[in-house]
Structure 1
Amino acid sequence: MHFQKSNKIKLLLCSLISVNLFANTNLDESILSDSRKKTFDLEKEQAKEDSSKLKKDWINQVIFKYTKNLGDEYKSETSSIRIDQPIFQSGGIYQAIKYANSTHDYANLQIQQERKNLIKDAYNLLFQIKKLDLNIQKTKLSLANAKIDVQRKKEQVLNGFLDSSFLDNALLTLNSSKHTLVDLKYQKQELINSFENIASGKYNNFELPKFEFISKEEYLEKNIELEKAKASIKKDKNYSHMTMARYLPSVNVYYNYSKTHYSDGKPNAEQTNDQTYGLYITMPLDSRALNDIESKRIEYLKSKLNLKNKIDDEKSFFKTKLDKLSMLEDRLKITSEDLSLYDSILEIIKEEKEAQIKTQSDYDTLKNSRDIKLLDAQVYKIDKQIILLELYSKVY
C-alpha cells in the first residue's frame, strides 16, 4: 500500500511538471480599485524618496546665519556661512550609498509582496464566492430531497407504516437545510461586500483565472519572500560596514565666512569680512564602538541564517500544497467513481419508473444526490485553484 501511494504521488508530480510550468496566467492587478493601486504607487514613490535621502545623509548641511544686534548703542548686522563636510570616512560614504540602494531594493520587494497579497485576497474572495454558489446549489438539492422525504414519511405515517418520530426527524432535516441555505446566502453577501471593498468593480464582472502548476525549482527561484531575505542580507551587510566606518578616521573640509557692518552712524564704522578654510582629521574614541560594531555584525549573520530558514519554510510550504493537491486528486477520483455508480443506478431506476415499479420521487431523489456529487467535484477543482493561487501569489 505504501509503495502504491508513493508511486501515485510521483505520477501526479510528473504529470503536473509536464504542464507548462509557469503558465501565462498571472495575477492581474486590474482587479484592485484605483485607490488601492494608487496607495501602492505612492508607497513605491515614497520608498524612492527615502532612498535618495539616505544617499545624501553623509552630506552635511550648509549653515547660513544672520544676526541683527539691537541692544548696543550702535546696531550691527552679521551674516555668516559655515560648511563642515566629510570627504573621506574610511569607506563609510561608499557603504552609505550602497546601504541606501539595498534599502530601496528591500522596500520595493516589500511593496510588491503587499500588492501581490492584496490581489491574492481579491481572487481568493472570488473563488470563495464561487464555492458558496456551488454549496448553495448543493443545499437546494438537499432541500428538495428533504421535502420529498417529508412527503414520503407523511404518507407512510398516515397509512400506519411508520411511527411519527420518523416524520419528525425528516422535518428536522428539512428545517436544518432551510437554515443552512439562509446562512450560506448571508456568507456569500459578506464575501461580496469584502471583495467590492478592495476591487475595481462588481464581483460578477470578473472571470475566475485558470492557474497551472508551477515547479518547485521555479517557485523557489522566483519566490518574493526569499528575494526579500536576500535583500535583507545585503542591507544588513552594508549597514554593518557603515557602522564600522563611523568609528574609523574621517577627513573633513571646512569653510567659514562672516560679514559684519554697523548702522546708525557709528564713527569710523567699517565693514568687516572674515573667512577661514582648511582640512581636519577626526578619530572618534567611543567605549561602545566594539559593542555597536559587533551588534550590527550579528544582525548580518542573523539575516544569513534567516535566508536558510526561509528556504526550508518555503520548501515545506510547497510540499504541503503539493500533498493537498494530491489529496484533492484522490477525492476527485472517488467522486468520479461515485458518479459512474449513480449514473448506472439512475438508468435502472428510470427503467423501473417506466415499469411503474419505482416512483418519480425515487428517481428525483437519486438524481439530486447524483447532482450533489457533481457539484462536489466542481468544489474540489476550485479548491485546487485556491492552492495554486497561494503559490502564484508568492512568486514574481
Structure 2
Amino acid sequence: MKYPVLLILFLLSDVCRADEPYTLLSPEKQEMLRLEREAYEAEHEKLRTNWIAPLNLSGTYDYDRSAQGEFFSTTETVSGSIAQDVFRSGGITYQIAYADAKKERESLSRQKEIALLNRQLFISILEYRKALFEKEQTALKLKNKEIEVAIKRHLFDAGKADITELNNALMEKSAELKSLAAIEYSIAEQRYEIAKISDVAADSFELPRFELIDRKAYLDEELDLRYTRANTQTQRYAYEVTASDYLPSIALNAALGYRRYDPKERTGDYDGHYYNTGISLTLPLSYNASSTVQEARALYLKEAASVADKRRSLEGSYAQAVEKIKSFEETIALIRRNLSLYDDLIGAIRSGVEAGTKTGYDLQTLQNSRSIEEFDIRIYEIDIQIELAKLHFALNPSKELP
C-alpha cells in the first residue's frame, strides 16, 4: 500500500496548536470541555485527600449553679480535636491510587469526546467536498442524458425509434435531475453539520492529508482501548479500597485547647491550656462485608476481561478499514487505465467529426464520460481520506500525532 506508516502530514494554519486539540471547535464546546477538565481535576484533589480527617474546632461557655446553695461557677473552653486514621490495612495507599486512576480515566474520556467532535468536523468537511464533486459529476451525466434525449427525439421524429426508447431516455434524464436535487440537499446538510460544532469555513478550510496508522500503534494506543485499560485500573483500586474498609484500622486521636474555670466563691480555679492524645483500633464487623467486597471484585474482573475483547474487536475494525482502502485504490487504478482508453476513443471520434463521419454529439458524450470518470477518482480519493480520518481520530484527539 502506498501510504507510509506512522506519518500524518497536515497543512493547517498556525492557529491550530498541538496542546489545544479542540481549537477548531466552537467557543461553546471549548468552554464546556475546559469546565469538564476543571471538574475532574478538582474531584481528583478531593479523592486523593479525603482520607485526611477534618480538624474540629469548638468553643463553649458553661454556667453552673449548685442546687444545695448559692455557689455557682463558669467555664469557658476553646478547643481543636482530630481523629486521624494512620493505618487502614492499605486503604490509604489504595485511596490515593484510586484517585490517580480515576483522573486518568476521566482524562481519556475527555480525549475521546474531543476526538469524536474533531472526527465529526473533519469527516463532515470531507463529505461536503465529496458532495461538491458529485454535483459537478451529476451535471455532466445530465448533459449526456440531454444529448441522448435529443438524439432519441430526432430518431423518433424520423420514424427510426419508437416511443419507448424516447420515454426511457426522458426517465433517465429525470433520474439525474432527482440525483442533483438530492446532492444539493446533502451539501446543505453537511454545511449545517459543520456549523453545529465549528466556525470554520467549509469552502476555504485547508484540509490535512491523513495517512495510514500503523497496525501495532492502532492496537496499542486506540482511545477506547486505553479508556478500558484505565477503567480496569480504577475498578481494581476501587475493589482494594472496598476490601480495606472491612479490615482493621488504627486512628490517632488528639485534642488541644484552652480552658478557664472560675468557681467564684470557691477555690480551685484554672486558667490555661490542656491536651489529650490516644490511639484507637477498629475492626468493622458487617454482615454484608463479604458480598460487598465480592461485588467490587466482580466489577473489576469483568472490566479486566473486556480489555482482550476490545482488542479483538479493534483487530477486525482495522483489517476492515485497510481492505476498504485497498478496494478504493484498486478501483482508482482501474479508472486510470480506462482514461487512456477514453483518450484513444476521443482522438478517433475527433478525426471522424473532422472527416464528417461522426457527429459532435458523439464527441461531447465521450468527453463528458471521461470527465465523469475523473470525478470518480476524486470521489474515491476522498472516500480513502474518510477511512483514514476514522482510524486517526480513533487514536488521537487532535489532528496531529502527539
Same fold (TM over 0.5): yes
AA matched with 2:381: K
Q: How does 1:80-119 map to 2 (within 5 A)?
A: 81-119=80-118
Mapped partners of 2:75, 2:173: distance in 1: 98
Distance 1:205 1:32, change over 3 A: farther
Mapped partners of 2:237, 2:11: distance in 1: 34
AA matched with 1:371: S
Tell me the residue number matched to 1:339. 339
> How far has the Cα of 1:80 moved from its partner?
5.6
May I ask how many residue pairs the two structures share in their alignment? Answer: 378
Tell me the residue number matched to 1:377. 377
Mapped partners of 2:81, 2:283: distance in 1: 22
Name the stretch that deviates more: 243-252 or 196-205.
196-205
Distance 1:101 1:363, change over 3 A: same
Name the stretch that deviates more: 359-368 or 161-170.
161-170
> How far has the Cα of 1:69 moved from its partner?
9.1
Gaps of 5+ in 2: 66-72, 397-402
AA matched with 2:97: K
Name the stretch that deviates more: 114-123 or 78-87.
78-87
> How far has the Cα of 1:195 moved from its partner?
0.3
Does structure 2 retain, via aligned residues, the 8 Å contact 1:259–1:271? no
AA matched with 2:199: S
AA matched with 2:252: V
Tell me the residue number matched to 1:184. 183
> How far has the Cα of 1:159 moved from its partner?
1.7
TM-score (normalizing by structure 2):
0.85
AA matched with 1:223: E
Mapped partners of 2:8, 2:174: distance in 1: 46
Tell me the residue number matched to 1:231. 230
Mapped partners of 2:133, 2:189: distance in 1: 16
The answer on 1:391 being equivalent to 2:391 is yes
> How far has the Cα of 1:78 moved from its partner?
7.1
Tell me the residue number matched to 2:129. 130
SS at 2:395 equivalent: coil
Mapped partners of 2:276, 2:202: distance in 1: 71
Tell me the residue number matched to 2:47. 54
Does structure 1 retain, via aligned residues, the 8 Å contact 2:346–2:366? yes
SS at 1:85 equivalent: strand
Distance 1:250 1:49, change over 3 A: same
Mapped partners of 1:26, 1:257: distance in 2: 66
The answer on 1:45 being equivalent to 2:38 is yes
Tell me the residue number matched to 1:7. none
SS at 2:203 equivalent: helix
> How far has the Cα of 1:337 moved from its partner?
2.4
Determine what percentage of the aligned residue pairs are the same residue: 27
SS at 1:203 equivalent: coil
Tell me the residue number matched to 2:304. 304
AA matched with 2:47: L
Q: How does 1:237-252 map to 2 (within 5 A)?
A: 237-252=236-251
Higher helix share: 1
Mapped partners of 1:267, 1:193: distance in 2: 88
Distance 1:26 1:156, change over 3 A: closer
SS at 1:328 equivalent: helix
Tell me the residue number matched to 2:6. 21
Q: Equivalent of 2:27, from 34, 48, 51?
A: 34
SS at 2:86 equivalent: strand
Name the stretch that deviates more: 358-367 or 267-276.
267-276
SS at 1:280 equivalent: strand
